[in-house]
Copies of this chain bind each other. A is one copy, B any other.
């Protein structure tokens, strides 16, 4: 099984290029100092989220950021896949499936009640990917956002 390692502050140099590649990939390029200040609190133990490196710590092949939150209806802690990224060269080998199959189970054992992920409604590949992982659309629910 592909190793997941909780990222720590000294992993930042290996993590930053992956996060910048992800932001490029989704068409929302960001500056290094934005990424650094967005990641450092999590690496330093902020309870609102965690970052895992996928693969060897010295040469990670990807990363996943889980944001934590609370749901009164679910009765406890919930998680959201904030970002997940694999280097293009290692895709198509089932690594993403493995990560997103094992991680919710491990976090459920630690008390997580549910895991959310947000995807574009027209991304059929992502829908198939998450459907195989038992993620289901809550019918007719939309998310509204107020920034700043």
Q: Which residues of A approach B to under 8 Å, CB–CB?
A: 19, 23, 28, 30, 34-35, 37-39, 41-42, 46-49, 65, 67-78, 80, 82-83, 104, 108, 113-122, 127, 130-131, 133-138, 140-148
The 6 nearest A-B residue pairs measured at CB: A49-B70, A135-B144, A67-B69, A48-B70, A38-B75, A69-B69
Task: Compute how far the CA of A144 lies from the CA of B117 in the bound complex, rounded to whole angstroms.
Answer: 5
Closest to A80 in B: B69
Task: Compute how far the CA of A68 lies from the CA of B121 in the bound complex, rounded to whole angstroms.
Answer: 25
> Can you offer 28 A-B residue contacts whose CB atoms are under 8 A?
A19-B72, A23-B73, A30-B73, A37-B76, A38-B72, A38-B73, A47-B47, A49-B69, A49-B70, A65-B70, A68-B70, A69-B69, A69-B80, A70-B82, A74-B147, A114-B147, A114-B148, A117-B144, A119-B142, A120-B142, A121-B141, A121-B142, A130-B144, A136-B145, A137-B142, A137-B144, A137-B145, A142-B142
